[in-house]
Amino acid sequence: MKGLFRPILALAALSAPAFAEDDLTIGFAIAKSGWMEAYDTPAATAAMIRIEEINAAGGLLGRQIRVVEADTRTDRAESAKAGLDVLDQGAEMMVVSCDYDFGAPAALVAEGEGMNSFFLCAEDAKAGIQGVGPNSFSSSVLAPVQGATMAEWAHARREARTAYVLEDTFIEYNKGICTGFNWMFPQLEGAQIVGSDTFKNDDASIASQITRIKELPDQPDVIMLCSVMPGAAAAVRQLRAAGINSLILNGSAVDGSYWLEATPDLSGFVVPVQGSIYGDDPRPEVEAFNKAYEAKTGSRPASQYAYPGYVLIDLWAKAVERAGTVDGAAVTAELEKMRDEPTAFGPRSFTADLHHQNTALMQIIEITGGKPARADEWRVSQPVPLDVLMKK
């Protein structure tokens, strides 16, 4: 056995990246296997792109950034272990899984050490001060903001006056989208929610829900669908098959063209995103990132969920430069001073109450004839208030 191990050890020693004593270490406690992997890997890759850019430009505080990783296996218990694992490997800041449920156990480990943690793309206010602690952040845009953006945009640009809300009760994210829509839409001039219903993401059929919509005296101008894959694609397919042609709105979670085959020639489907993956974003930085991502992985981002990974490293690195240290409390204080801090994907703000975006400039993607394209951009006229965010 000894003879067998020696060459392996030698190999391991060779393959370990050469790093100096004073390197700065970021720990990634993320899903590298299990179903969450498909969502964590793109954002983690984007984070790596920003880290490589920083290293190429001379590093952070004069130190090169080193990355260590541990796998949460899409499992809540393993997430806490992965947090401890990267801590043992010397992490001084922790990047955790996209979703609150799977990222929080690792983020709590970081919080216990007074260390900063960033969720890769969480969009629930709990993934921050309210659910983890004072040093935890997410750079993505809160789900209620996405719902509110859809409400205000559809009202202003598509004359939507009647809306039907169809909520998938599967995860908190979906509830967040509907919460934002239900808060914003009735405030708008002449706008009214004419009905609402719920379904479950893995329902084999939503025939009963469709029957209820078809029984309305007039078909609604828009249907706010608060859902994620695969249920969202299934719901859209069944709605359109039943001959319901209202404009369908959803959150960012269904961005990407990979699911469009499910409803051939889909039209009138709109989502808000942080940046366009389709090569038509008006900001050249976004397309430059898409190209860098393609150069690194061989394909363009499959959805907008790569972007928050890039933004989080960008914001954290700026705060570290300003604080002159990686100490959690000091960096948090600098992050909380950010008001409309420019990033490649739009301005970002953090406050002492909220480590999330309660308003954001969003690109509006519309699918027409099965082809997604940027149609517009929109920023909600007022931030979503904290009590709406926390009400659920």
Partner 1 sequence: MSLQLVFDALALGGIYAVAALGIALIFGVMRLVNFAHGQFIACAVFALIVPSTDALAVLGLGALPAPVLVPLILLIGAGLAVLAEALVFRPMRNASPVALMVGSFALGVALQNLLLALYGGRPKAVSLWAELGQPVQIASASVPLLQLIVIAAVAVILAGLALMLRKSRLGLEMRAAAEDFTMARMLGVRSNRVISGAFALSGGLAAVVALVLVAQTGVADVRMGGQIMLVAFIATVVGGMGSLSGAVAAGLGIGAASALLQAGLPADARPFRDAFLYGGVILVLLFRPQGLFAPVGAKPRV
Instruction: Tell me which amino acid residue 43 is.
Output: A
60-99 residues in contact with partner 1 (CB under 8 A) are 74
The C-alpha atoms of residue 333 and residue 335 are separated, in whole angstroms, by 6
Q: Which stretch binds partner 1 (CB under 8 A): 17-25, 230-238, 313-321, 341-349?
A: 230-238
Residue 237 in the binding site for partner 1 (CB under 8 A): yes
Tokens of 123: 């969009």
* 58-66, 100-108, 195-203, 375-383 -> range binding partner 1 (CB under 8 A): 195-203
Q: Is 360 exposed, middle or buried (0-12, 13-18, 19+ CB in 10 A)?
A: buried
Q: Provide, rounded to whole angstroms, the least separation between the CB of residue 370 and partner 1.
A: 10
Kindly write out the interface string for residues 7-46 of this chain, putting x where it contacts partner 1 by CB under 8 A and - elsewhere: --------------------------xxxxxxx-------
Q: Which is nearer to partner 1, 9 or 204 (CB)?
A: 204
Cis peptide before 230 (omega within 30 of 0): yes
For residues 170 and 300, give the distance between their C-alpha atoms in angstroms, rounded to a whole number. 29
Phi-psi region of 152 (alpha: psi -120 to 50; beta: other; left: phi over 0): alpha
Torsion of CA 268, 272, 276, 282, to 10 degrees: 100
Name which position in 95, 122, 260, 365 contacts partner 1 (CB under 8 A): 260
Distances (CA, A) of 109 to 74, 99, 159, 209: 17, 16, 48, 43
Pick 25 or 74: Cβ nearer partner 1? 74
Least separation, in Å, of the C-beta of 207 and partner 1? 4
Tell me which stretch binds partner 1 (CB under 8 A): 14-22, 182-190, 201-209, 338-346.
201-209
Contact footprint for partner 1 (CB under 8 A)? 33-39, 74, 167, 169, 196-200, 202-205, 207-209, 211-212, 214, 229-230, 233-234, 237-238, 240-243, 256-264, 299, 302-303
